[in-house]
Amino acid sequence: MDSIIVNGGKELSGVIPIAGAKNACLTLMPATLLSEEPLTLTNAPRLSDIKTMTQLLESLGAEVTSMQDGQVQAMSCHGAINHVAEYDIVRKMRASNLVLGPLLAREGQAVVSLPGGCAIGARPMDIHTNGLEAMGATIELKDGYLHAKAPMGGLKGAVIDFPFASVGATENIMMAATLAKGTTVINNAAREPEIVDLADCLRKMGAQIEGDGSPSITIQGVDRLHGATHPVVTDRIELGTYMLAPAIAGGEVELLGGRINLIEAFCEKLDAAGISVTETERGLKVARKNGRLSAVDVVTEPFPGFPTDLQAQMMALLCTADGTSVLEEKIFENRFMHAPELIRMGANIEVNGGTATVHGVNRLKGAPVMATDLRASVSLILAGLAAEGETRVSRVYHLDRGYEQVVRKFSGVGAQIERIKDE
């Protein structure tokens, strides 16, 4: 198992290229199951989760070729399809459930293990299955697997009202609806950029989709989809994470490929905290305005609100801000597991249910800490950039699921950081 060692106190300067979005790519890859023709994704991130999705698709009968050092994923699903997504693969990653809709739409049946991923609270599949059942599917849970069957003649269009704006359920139903008979309307749909990116890709494949990016999406089913080539949208969570690096450590960094419209609510909080974000021809430039940062309150919300996947990183920033900040986590329960680790570094944090109160301190101190999930991992690295002395972050295997070449990107702008093998 690896650890990352960070020696803090170094101002940062330079450029960091931002990868394609992990969450977008993991959604786009299962779309290959909807067509017999090839689907090619460019600007793909080089992450362990992408490898896991590749394994899953290959187990279902797809051919996947990784090119250009993993930045191009060429997929084809023209042969026989296996409709069983096995536990041994699905348990590794939550996004594995996104094969359910495509398999049901194309094959008329699917057997999919309940998914795994980071332990950040319950993320039930009911909203997915209820939507598919509204389209005529019958779904039964047996021995940890969802056994789903479409009616004779395939899935049928339906009006589906989500109880909350679920990203995964919106994606699953969108893909299933592309090959359903008739019109499907998703109300209270998720509005994230990854949803829009999926819709753009599906339209290139011949799908008829309107309203993506709004709370109501309409899909008119077609008989078949064809192949396409599609670039994966910029990863807004990686973007926001690296924007915080110069904000925490000092200095100025340019994020290549960054766009404010991907994380506008996040940028508004940075501005209020005393951080300058300016657009350039190549992306975004970030630096402190002057002096000590100011405390700000944060409430996580579905897009276009403040992203839950940037809450841990924002907490690291606010640990040394002037004043008291309150962070409310309204998307996932159990997502403050990084707080005790930050406290080990000298932070003053009180957690009460879904609310964390952060009283800013003058400086953090390096300490041995343990990563508990993907975003917590990088929040501890960010904290280490500003801390006195050495911070050792253990259990960093989580990082490989969501951040490519993290040590290279941080060290490329002047951070003293290295990854070591634990004895």
Both 195 and 292 in one domain: the answer is no
DSSP character at residue 9: -
* Residue 169 phi, psi dihedral angles, 5° rounding: -70, -40
Domain of 123: which CATH number?
3.65.10.10
Instruction: Give the domain-ending residue among 184, 214, 230.
Output: 230
Both 147 and 179 in one domain: the answer is yes
Binding residue per annotation — 309?
yes
How many Cβ atoms from other residues are within 10 Å of residue 422's Cβ? 10
Both 382 and 401 in one domain: the answer is yes
pLDDT at position 350 is: 97
DSSP 220-252: E--S----EEEEPPB-HHHHHHHHHHHHHH-EE
Binding residue per annotation — 89?
no
Predicted TM-score (pTM) of this structure: 0.90
Both 197 and 314 in one domain: the answer is no
Report whether 12 contacts 413 (CB < 8 A): yes
Report whether 128 contacts 174 (CB < 8 A): no
Boundaries of domain holding 244? 2-19+234-421
Based on the residue annotation, tell me whether 25 is a catalytic residue of this protein.
Answer: no
Asked if residue 304 has a cis previous peptide bond (ω within 30° of 0), the answer is: yes
Binding residue per annotation — 352?
no
Strand order in the sheet with 39-42: 63-67, 72-76, 39-42, 228-231
Distance CA 260, CA 323 (A): 27
Distance CA 382, CA 402 (A): 15
Residue 308 has which token pair? 């839950």
pLDDT at position 119 is: 40
Instruction: Give the domain-ending residue among 211, 230, 249.
Output: 230
Rounded (5°) CA angle 310-311-315: 120
Q: Considering the candidates 25, 118, 201, 267, report the single residue annotated as catalytic.
A: 118
Report whether 59 contacts 65 (CB < 8 A): no
Both 312 and 391 in one domain: the answer is yes
Tens of pLDDT along 350-407? 999 999 999 999 999 999 999 988 888 999 999 999 999 999 999 998 888 889 999 9
Both 15 and 26 in one domain: the answer is no
Residue 400 has which token pair? 């490989």
Binding residue per annotation — 94?
yes
Q: What total number of domains does the chain contain?
A: 2
* Residue 186 phi, psi dihedral angles, 5° rounding: -105, 115
- pLDDT per position in the chain (423 positions), as tens? 899 999 999 999 999 999 999 999 999 999 999 999 999 999 999 998 899 999 999 999 999 999 999 899 999 999 889 999 998 888 888 778 999 999 999 999 999 988 754 343 444 689 999 999 999 999 998 888 999 999 999 999 999 999 999 999 999 999 999 999 999 999 999 999 999 999 999 999 999 999 999 999 999 999 999 999 999 999 999 999 999 999 999 999 999 999 999 999 999 999 999 999 999 999 999 999 988 999 999 999 999 999 999 999 999 999 999 999 999 999 877 789 999 999 999 999 999 999 999 999 999 999 999 998 888 899 999 999 999 999 999 999 888 888 999 999 999 999 999 999 976
Both 131 and 257 in one domain: the answer is no
Nearest to 295 by CA among 265, 272, 329, 266: 272
Both 121 and 59 in one domain: the answer is yes
Distance CA 264, CA 98 (A): 27
How many Cβ atoms from other residues are within 10 Å of residue 163's Cβ? 10
Both 14 and 44 in one domain: the answer is no
pLDDT at position 124 is: 66
Distance CA 419, CA 335 (A): 25
Which neighbouring-strand residues pair with 284?
255, 279
Both 270 and 213 in one domain: the answer is no
Both 267 and 369 in one domain: the answer is yes
C-alpha distances in Å from residue 274, one per residue of 242, 270, 295, 384: 16, 6, 9, 20
Burial of 263 by CB count in 10 Å (0-12 exposed, 13-18 middle, 19+ buried)?
buried
Q: 26: part of which helix (H) or strand (E)? A: helix 22-28
Both 219 and 243 in one domain: the answer is no
Instruction: Give the domain-ending residue among 195, 230, 265.
Output: 230
Distance CA 257, CA 350 (A): 36
